[in-house]
């Protein structure tokens, strides 16, 4: 709604303006879909602490504007939890695969080696290929396919989880 100088309005016009504003707020809430999340004082204080660490605006006890901050904090915590679950590897093969992934990523991004150079380096170091780690054989001859696979974080993560859970 446009800004109106309320000091110049009569009492009747002021009341009409207030009614229009209430109606506007009601319809905009219906369009947005009002979402209310019950938050205890203890939970609100924890959310405020996390939002402070994340440099977000701290949510207040009033409901206006706090959903955005709560959703950002919640998203951060979910990502953190999903990331920590990735590192809880218990079996040996997934640990080896993760170590290979970190090594290849380091050679590619820090040492700035090409995939062909990485394959030669890993063959020279006599490291097991990802396929050898997964299947349990002794293949140590690397190709660019192996390197390309290990650079795909999503595929490696899914494979590690699958092997770890099996």
Residue 164 has pLDDT above 90, yes or no: no
* 68, 80 Cβ separation under 8 angstroms: no
Residues 28 and 66 occupy one common structural domain: no
More confident residue, 85 or 29: 29
Q: Where are the beta strands (DSSP E) in 16-119?
A: none
Residue 76 has pLDDT above 60, yes or no: yes
Residues 104 and 115 occupy one common structural domain: yes
Domain boundary among 26, 61, 88: 88
Residues 105 and 158 occupy one common structural domain: yes
Number of neighbouring beta carbons within 10 Å of residue 96:
19
Residues 105 and 145 occupy one common structural domain: yes
Residues 75 and 102 occupy one common structural domain: no
pLDDT at site 143: 92
Domains identified in the chain, total number:
3
Residues 109 and 133 occupy one common structural domain: yes
Q: 142: domain range?
A: 92-165
Residues 71 and 43 occupy one common structural domain: yes
Residues 77 and 47 occupy one common structural domain: yes
Residues 40 and 99 occupy one common structural domain: no
Residues 96 and 161 occupy one common structural domain: yes
Q: Please state the rounded mean pLDDT for residues 87-96.
A: 82
Alpha carbon distance 107, 122 (integer Å) = 10
Residues 16 and 68 occupy one common structural domain: no
Nearest to 101 by CA among 134, 138, 141, 137: 134
Is 36 strand, coil or helix? coil
Q: Please state the rounded mean pLDDT for residues 106-128.
A: 91
CA angle 16–19–22, rounded 5-degree value = 155
Residues 106 and 160 occupy one common structural domain: yes
The structure tokens 């998203």 sit at 75
The structure tokens 């109606």 sit at 23
């Amino acid at each position: 709604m446009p800004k109106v100088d309320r000091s110049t309005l009569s009492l009747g016009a002021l009341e009409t303006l207030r009614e229009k504003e209430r109606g506007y707020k009601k319809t905009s809430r219906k369009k947005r879909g009002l979402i209310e999340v019950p938050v205890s004082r203890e939970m609100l204080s924890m959310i405020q602490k996390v939002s402070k660490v994340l440099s977000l605006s701290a949510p207040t006890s009033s409901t206006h504007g706090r959903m955005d901050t709560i959703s950002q904090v919640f998203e951060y915590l979910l990502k953190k939890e999903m990331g920590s679950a990735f590192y809880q590897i218990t079996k040996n093969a997934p640990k080896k695969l993760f170590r290979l992934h970190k090594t290849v990523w380091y050679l590619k991004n820090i040492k700035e080696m090409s995939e062909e150079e990485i394959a030669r380096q890993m063959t020279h170091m006599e490291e097991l290929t990802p396929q050898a780690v997964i299947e349990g054989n002794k293949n140590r001859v690397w190709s660019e396919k192996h390197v390309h696979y290990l650079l795909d974080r999503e595929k490696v993560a899914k494979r590690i989880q699958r092997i770890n859970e099996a």
